[in-house]
Amino acid sequence: MSSPANVFNRIFRFYYDGFRTMSWWGKRVWLIILVKLFIMFLILKLFFFPDFLKVNFNSDRERGDYVLEQLTGNN
């Protein structure tokens, strides 16, 4: 049976060799994908989606009660 470190090393080498031998077109596509993900998850999150629970509730207990109420529908 292989050790976890050996399995991780084999998986890493698989992807490393695949990206290393990729054509310039494939590398450009991955660059575009990474830039789009960066914009979607970091930039949009920071500017357009404020932390609703932090702004509207003062304690973790109030936040937890609100989330539980929303999930279960108990008013």
Given pLDDT bands bounded at 50, 70 and 90, which one contains residue 1?
Answer: low
38-64 tens-digit pLDDT: 988 888 888 887 788 888 899 999 999
13-35 tens-digit pLDDT: 998 999 899 999 999 999 999 99
Residue 19: name the closest of 36, 5, 33 by CA.
Answer: 33
Q: Which two tokens stand for residue 40?
A: 């979607």
Residue 53 contacts residue 66 (beta carbons within 8 Å) = yes
Residue appearing with tokens 């890493």: 12
